[in-house]
């Protein structure tokens, strides 16, 4: 079962609503997630030695420009075996 679902909105035929686990996703929710990911990446891969949150910013910038999920392996997360429970 997918966590995301798209349903018909009420404003027009083209209006869609993105649900996450049954709740509508707001712009503020997306902004909070972005801030979280940037901060977390900075903690895990601190600048200036690493790209940290800038890697996430680059990823989102590519998504915004192309309107597609990047398939480039430079964005793939290399998880440790003991982190599989998070999948």
Question: Which structure tokens are listed for 6?
Answer: 């798209």
Average pLDDT, the chain: 89
- How confident is the model over 12-59, as pLDDT tens digits? 999 999 999 999 999 999 999 999 999 999 999 999 999 999 999 999
Q: What is the pLDDT of residue 80?
A: 63
Model confidence, pTM:
0.78
Compute the chain's Rg from CA coordinates: 16
Percentage, residues of the chain above pLDDT 90: 77
CB 52 within 8 A of CB 42: yes
Q: What is the pLDDT of residue 82?
A: 45
């Amino acid at each position: 079962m997918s966590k995301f679902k798209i349903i018909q909105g009420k404003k027009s035929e083209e209006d869609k609503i993105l649900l996450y686990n049954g709740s509508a996703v707001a712009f503020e929710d997306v902004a909070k997630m972005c801030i979280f990911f940037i901060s977390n990446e900075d903690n895990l891969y601190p600048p200036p030695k690493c790209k940290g949150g800038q890697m996430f910013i680059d990823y989102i910038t590519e998504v915004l420009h192309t309107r597609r999920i990047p398939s480039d392996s430079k964005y793939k997360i290399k998880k440790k075996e003991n982190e599989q429970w998070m999948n």
